[in-house]
Amino acid sequence: MESSSNEHIDYVFKVVLIGDCGVGKSSLLLRYSDDFFQESYLCTIGVDLRIRTISVDDKRVKLQMWDTAGQERFKTLCGHYYRGAEAIIIVFDVTSENSFSNVLRWYEEARQLSRQDTVLVLLGNKSDMADSRAVSTERAQSLAASLNIAYFESSAKLCDNVKETFTATTRKMMEAYQKHHRAHLPDDLTNSKSLHMSQPIKSSTSLNCFDCSIM
């Protein structure tokens, strides 16, 4: 955790990771927030939260990262996943054709349940497993292009392109926020956790609750 409780934060963004079971959502977040990797990590039940505060273009951004269960049968959770999310990262496993073919399903669900200005990103994980690769970069890129979203490839295991993906996503969220902010009055953002830098976050706010993962 990079943040200290009194630190000035310019933005707080909620990022949700979705995708099939076992594509590596938890591993990506574990790598990104704790720089740690473990084969056969526990499957996520319900939802996990991870926090990381980063600097992007001289702005301090607190990322509230939601790790969801790939197989979600409890509707109680689903509504909360997408609500107020600034970005949704759809993760698939480049060695699993099945997880790639489910990307469309995930995309549609995310589009339906999220805000219009939510940034969607496609992320192919396990890029280190070249031998068993089932989905080529080109196919994934063309799918992303057809959906008009960005595509990244990463390896949580090798810590390859993980940080870059999150940084790029953060930049997109900041752009979307500013665009949205110009287009609407701040009052329209009541559902958003984004805070403009003119609204410094007090140390006693809720944000500190995320200094550690609550799950």
Partner 1 sequence: MDKFPSIPKLSIQQPFSKIIEKATSLFNISTDVKVPALDGEIVYSKNNVCVHQVGGEERVPGYLSLRCSITEMPGKQTDSTLILHWVPNMTIRRNPKSVDSPVRTPPRASSATNLIDFDSDTENTSTSQSTSLSASLTNHSAHSCKQITKDETLTQEHSDENLYELSVKYVPSQSSSNSDNMEGSIEISTEKLVDFSSSGQEDLSDKLDELGIDGNDQKVMTSNKPLNLESIQQSLLLKSSTEQEEWCGDADSDSSLTEGPDSERSFSPASLSDISSICDVLSLTETAESIVESRNLMFPTNGLPLESSAHSKNSMSPSTSDTSIVTSPGVFSVNLGAMRSLRLFFSEDSASCGQLVIASRESQYKIFHFYNGGLDKLADILEEWNLFHSAKQQKWRHGSISPFSQQFRVVKPSIAEDVDVHPEEHLYHTLNNAQWKMFMNDEGQILDESNLKKTVFFGGIEPSLRREVWPFLLHYYPYESTFEQREHIRNEKYLQYQKIKKKRYRLAKDKAWELRFWRSVQNTVEKDVVRTDRSHSYYKGDNNSNVETLKEILLNYAVAHPHLGYTQGMSDLLSPILVELKNEADAYWCFVGLMQRTIFVSQPKDTDMDQQLVYLKELLRLMFPKFHDHLLKVDVTLGLLFVHRWILLCFKREFNEEDSLTIWERAGLTYRPTTFTFSLL
Residues lying near partner 1 in the complex (CB under 8 A) are found at 21-22, 40-47, 49, 64, 69-71, 73-77, 80, 98, 205-206, 209-210, 214-215
Between 125 and 149, name the residue whose CB sits nearer to partner 1: 125
Between 105 and 179, name the residue whose CB sits nearer to partner 1: 105
The CB-of-20 to partner 1 minimum distance in angstroms stands at 8
Between 171 and 193, name the residue whose CB sits nearer to partner 1: 193
Between 62 and 180, name the residue whose CB sits nearer to partner 1: 62
The CB-of-162 to partner 1 minimum distance in angstroms stands at 20
Between 151 and 157, name the residue whose CB sits nearer to partner 1: 157
CA distances from residue 105 to 92, 100, 112, 124 in whole angstroms, order as listed: 12, 10, 11, 16
β-bridge pairing 119-125 and 11-19: unpaired
The CB-of-41 to partner 1 minimum distance in angstroms stands at 6
The CB-of-149 to partner 1 minimum distance in angstroms stands at 25
d(C-alpha 157, C-alpha 30), whole Å: 10
In residues, how long is the chain?
Answer: 215
The CB-of-72 to partner 1 minimum distance in angstroms stands at 8
First to last CA, the chain: 15
Q: In what order do the strands lie in the sheet with 59-68?
A: 47-56, 59-68, 11-19, 87-93, 119-125, 150-153
Nearest alpha-carbon partner for 169 in 151, 156, 157: 151
What amino acid is encoded at 80 in this protein? H
CA distances from residue 97 to 20, 61, 100, 105 in whole angstroms, order as listed: 11, 34, 5, 14
Contact at 8 Å (CB) between 131 and 5? no
Please work out, in degrees rounded to the nearest 5, the angle formed at the alpha carbon of residue 166 by the alpha carbons of 161 and 170: 145
Between 46 and 186, name the residue whose CB sits nearer to partner 1: 46
Contact at 8 Å (CB) between 49 and 119? no
The CB-of-104 to partner 1 minimum distance in angstroms stands at 15
